[in-house]
């Protein structure tokens, strides 16, 4: 009897530990500083990859998205006029009529297809979180820890300040007075670097 009770206790402790671990790694999403409603649209982990709901994030970011249920496909239109087609189970997305990998990775210095796919789950299309921060979507994504739980922050990238062109300047004005080159007047009295008048032979001075 004692062995049975001990076995039950061990199983209970193991399950409790697993639940605590899962709770510690439970992730929340904030879009532009606003937390999304839990437990709906919560991210999940599959094969070491974090997946997030695509459509609701795109909408909260202020971009347009159309869901084609028959094709299990999202059609996204960003503010920069890019049109992106993301389909359940496809490793590639449509970008302005051309195909490109959903997510890429670096292997031996080369960019290759990561072979990751969107997942349709609970009537929602989920994508790897890396897709949001890719060049295709261009969102700013940060994963932080808040009160022992991971939180995914999605924000808009801040525009880079435009560099101002260098002001045009007159090269003659930047020269010291004793080095300025006269363009009019008597050339026989052209100044030299020490500020003194350069000697001119009588032969040339009388011409």
Instruction: State pLDDT tens for residues 116-140.
Output: 999 999 999 999 999 999 999 999 9
| Predicted pLDDT at 146 | 81
Question: How many Å is the maximal CA-CA distance in the chain?
Answer: 131
Per-residue pLDDT tens over the stretch 17-32: 444 344 335 568 999 9
Instruction: State the Cα torsion 130-157-34-83 to the nearest 10°.
Output: -60
The pTM score is: 0.65
* Cα–Cα dist 17/66, whole Å: 42
The fourth-level CATH superfamily of domain 26-156 is: Copper amine oxidase-like, N-terminal domain (3.30.457.10)
User: Domain segments of the chain: what residues?
Assistant: 26-156
Condensed to tens digits (0 to 9), the pLDDT of residues 51-62 reads 999 999 999 999
Taking alpha carbons only, the member of 47, 58, 39 closest to residue 132 is 58
Highest mean pLDDT among 118-127, 175-184, 197-206: 118-127
Is residue 89 within 8 A of residue 118, CB to CB? The reply is yes
What b-and-e string marks burial along 93-123, b requiring 16 or more CB atoms within 10 Å of the CB? bbbeeeeebbbbeeeeeeeeebebbbbeeee
């Amino acid at each position: 009897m004692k062995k049975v009770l001990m076995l039950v206790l061990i199983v209970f402790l193991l399950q409790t530990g697993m639940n605590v671990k899962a709770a510690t790694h439970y992730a929340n999403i904030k879009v532009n500083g606003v937390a999304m409603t839990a437990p709906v649209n919560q991210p999940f982990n599959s094969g070491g990859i974090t997946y997030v709901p695509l459509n609701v994030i795109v909408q909260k970011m202020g971009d347009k998205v159309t869901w084609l249920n028959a094709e299990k496909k999202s059609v996204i239109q960003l503010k920069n006029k890019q049109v992106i087609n993301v389909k359940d189970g496809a490793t590639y997305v449509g970008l302005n009529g051309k195909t490109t990998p959903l997510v890429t990775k670096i292997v031996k210095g080369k960019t290759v297809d990561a072979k990751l796919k969107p997942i349709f789950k609970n009537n929602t299309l989920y994508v790897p979180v890396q897709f949001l921060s890719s060049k295709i979507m261009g969102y700013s994504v940060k994963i932080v820890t808040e009160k022992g739980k991971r939180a995914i922050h999605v924000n808009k990238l801040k525009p880079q300040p435009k560099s101002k062109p260098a002001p045009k300047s007159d090269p003659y004005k930047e020269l010291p007075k004793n080095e300025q080159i006269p363009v009019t007047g008597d050339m026989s009295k052209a100044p030299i670097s020490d500020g003194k008048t350069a000697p001119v032979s009588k032969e040339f001075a009388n011409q």
